Structure 1
Amino acid sequence: MKRIVISGYYGFRNSGDEAVLKSILFALEEEGRQQGMRIAPVVLSIDPAWTTHMYGVEAVHRMRLAEVIRAIRSSDGLISGGGSLLQDATGALTIPYYTGVLKLAQLLRKPTFIYAQGIGPVNRRWMDPLIRGVMRRSAYVSVRDAESAALLERIGVPGGAIEVVSDPVMGLPLPAGAVPGDASDDAVASEVPIIGVSLRHWRKDGADLARAAEALASLARSRPVRLRFLPFHTPSDAETSRQVMEQLGDLGSGSSAELASPGDDPQHMLKAVSECDVLFGMRLHALIYAANQSVPMLGLSYDPKIDQFLKRVGLTAIGTTEQLNADAFVAEASRLIDRREEWLAEHKAAIEQLKQEARRPAKQIVSLLRHNK
């Protein structure tokens, strides 16, 4: 048995980050079983009781230093896991926190592993040595796109030590017994296409959301559709969705708008996405969920990570938080609804490649742990 501490943005009820955690736990368990090792995870969470309840694993409070030290000291290593942890767009404290946890593990002589992270943006140059130092001392480094690898190389991390993989969530399975795209209850009541919508607050003036509402309303007036809003970060995304729904105005005959509530379990949200005919997403993990379930997608870019992921699937964003043409949106959404099989054939190979890559970090980490005496 190997006891592994997992550091990340966990316990905050963000569906994307929780999906990253659940995907890592699944992959470690499966790879451990295949390699004859039992992995005992210890998650650093802002809400340890909730994390333990959700995933059935041990958890400690990520902001209580004594608890973190005890967890790392009694472990066989630390994973800094998934998501956009090493970036300073959300503030100047994010990078020091996550590199600090890594540095602590290294000072305690524990091997550290970087699990499919998205690196950047890093706008404060004094952050570079913090990242470079912990990366160079890590036993394994993987990132989720070539741009992240290039950024690490620019700040002095040897390129040969970096593996480019896909986001862990590409390997997340549906809930046990669920069938992809098999809608339940009222979702089978009609054959009206379901358009999944994942939006988040970004611009202070709300102009990006107003443009999204205009585009969605134009689509709903051009043909019957069910606009299903999917809140990936509660409660903020639910409130954002309600605001956009209020701006839709009168929809065309046969069209409707609804707010879904799949709950906190990432697999239930993955199931909700699988029921959609098209996904219009601003949240990165909404798009990743769609790729996971081979649902045609339209990305609205607010951050380079959106464009980087879409590029790996062979796509470009339909718009950004600065511009979104309603007519172009309607035309492309209609094409995806009417010619779904063509889209699937065009992007199937790229999606399968991402799914295969999603398991590589767990395989490498378990192997390293198995040979680390």
Structure 2
Amino acid sequence: MKKFAIHGFYGQGNLGDEAILKALLQEFSKFPNIKVVVFCSKPKQVFRAHGVRSVNSQGRRNFLRRIWEIKTSDLFILGGGGLLKDYGNDSSSLKEWLRLLKFAKKLNIKTALCAVGVENIRYDESRKLIRDALDKVDVITVRDCSSKDILRDIRVANEVKVVSDPAVLLTNINTDKLEDNLVSPKVIICIRHWFSKGFYIEKPEINENFIRSLSIAADFLIEHYNKKIYFVPFRTTSYDDDRIVAKQVVSYMKHKDKIYIHSSAPEVDEFIEMVKQSSLVIGMRLHSLILGTSIGVPVIGLEYMPKVRAYMESIKQSEYSLDLETITSEKLINKILITFEKYKERSQVIGLEISRLKKLASTNIEDLIELTNSVRRR
């Protein structure tokens, strides 16, 4: 029996990160000789959601258990998700994410970065932290080319492979349903607070323009295509509540009777079922785009951080990705018009690219397992 320890942003009420963990657990469960333990800040939530043994990654109280869990593991995995970034005014968040990885290396445990996103590295201290922590890590995979470029700029010496987000493995494209998707009255919108360097919006006037532009485009979908708009939150914590932004958009809309704001973030499977019954996904939330395209539904990306454009480029859909700093209602409506005019064409391109990403994600899992084939249990 092999034991894999996975450390990530799990149990925090973020649908995207839960989709990543769900996919990893799904793939590892195909191998009966692998058991998994998850390191996270809220182990009870992870156990309730996924039924997997979990350990608190923080605090002195669980220190000895963390040592034992890592020491008795065959592989320590950091990821997936956008874990390597500067958030706030110093490198403290990066230090926290790299702490257990460095500890596993000291114990001579096999280590891996799995489909991690890297962006917004602003401090020299952070660059050194990453460079030192990733030295001699056995496998490093990132979820997009821009993440690889950043690690190269930081002078990480190890081989870095570009794979894809594990969440692409959660569902399959059903080409027989494309016609049903096209005529579906549902459009899903997944938006969030727009901040890149802390819990505040740096340019309120640009954010206001984005809110108004989206409200006009949503009204256009209702008037021109007779759609119903579903705002689906990915997170609803006190400091990161997608419903607040949705209400701001709706406050400017004319057709409030055709709007539905979900009261809470759905489970991953529930969101997938919603997308299967929709004609379009418009998203800031990265995994609304990943899960949408994994089903074959066309998406329009709203770039609040580079990872959105990076994903859209990876599936040859960058022309349907809009920078929030320069967005206008005219630009967004134009992308909507082109999407419905070229619906089948877009779906076919997405389908081909998703097939490629699924192979990359599966190969990533296989490489992690292969890494432990020569490991003997201690």
Alignment RMSD, CA only? 2.5
Given the superposition, is the C-alpha separation of residues 262 and 172 from structure 1 closer, same or farther in structure 2, using an over 3 Å criterion? Answer: farther
2:240 counterpart of 1:242: no
SS at match of 1:17: helix
Instruction: Tell me the alpha carbon deviations over residues 94-145 of structure 1, each in whole angstroms, 9 at most, x when there is no partner.
Output: 2111111110111122111110111122111111222112222211111111
1:8 and 1:127 map into 2 onto residues whose CA distance is 19
**Letter of the 2:327 counterpart:** L
Find the aligned partners of 1:249 and 1:90 in 2 and give their Cα distance: 37
Structure 2 residue matching 1:84: 3-state secondary structure = strand
Residues 136-169 of structure 1: CA deviation (Å, up to 9, x unaligned): 221111111111112112222236x211101111
Aligned partners of 2:80, 2:262: CA distance in 1, in Å? Answer: 26
3-state SS of paired residue (2:11): coil
Residue deviations 1:59-107 (CA, integer Å, cap 9, x gap)? 0112135032232122222100111101104563221111111101111
**Structure 2 SS opposite 1:118:** strand
Q: Distance in 1 between matches of 2:286 and 2:176?
A: 20
Instruction: Name the structure 2 match of 1:202.
Output: 194
Aligned partners of 1:52 and 1:59 also within 8 Å: yes
Q: 1:347 aligns to what? A: 350
Counterparts of residues 175-254 of structure 1 (less than 5 Å): 193-202=185-194, 204=201, 205=204, 206-207=207-208, 208-235=210-237, 236-250=241-255
Question: Is 2:52 the counterpart of 1:57?
Answer: yes
Cα drift, residue 352 of structure 1: 1.1
Report the counterpart of residue 198 of structure 2 in structure 1.
none
Tell me the distance in 2 between the aligned counterparts of 1:360 and 1:276: 30
- Secondary structure of residue in 2 paired with 1:78: strand
CA shift for structure 1 position 242: 2.5
Greater mean alpha carbon deviation, residues 281-290 or residues 68-77: 68-77
Provide the C-alpha distance between the structure 1 equivalents of 2:148 and 2:265, rounded to a whole number of angstroms.
Answer: 34
Task: Name the CA distance, whole Å, in 2 between partners of 1:179 and 1:57.
Answer: 30
Q: Where do 5+ consecutive residues of structure 1 fail to align?
A: 183-187
Q: TM-score, normalised by structure 2?
A: 0.87
Report whether the alignment pairs 1:95 with 2:94.
yes
Paired letter, 1:295: V
The DSSP-based 3-state class of the residue aligned with 1:10 is: coil
1:214 partner amino acid: I
| Structure 2 unmatched runs, 5+ | 196-200
* Contact 1:194–1:225 under 8 Å retained in 2: yes
1:43 aligns with 2:43: no
Contact 1:13 1:264 in 2 (8 A): no
The equivalent of 2:75 in structure 1 is 77
> How far off is 1:262 after superposition?
7.3
Verify the 8 A CA contact 1:193 1:276 in the aligned structure 2. yes
Q: Does the Cα contact within 8 Å between 2:235 and 2:265 map onto a contact in 1?
A: no
Instruction: Please report the TM-score for the alignment, with normalisation by the length of structure 1.
Output: 0.88
What amino acid maps onto 2:17 in structure 1? D
AA of the residue aligned to 1:132: R
Aligned to 1:163: 161
Alignment length (residue pairs): 356
Contact 2:15 2:265 (8 Å CA) reproduced: no
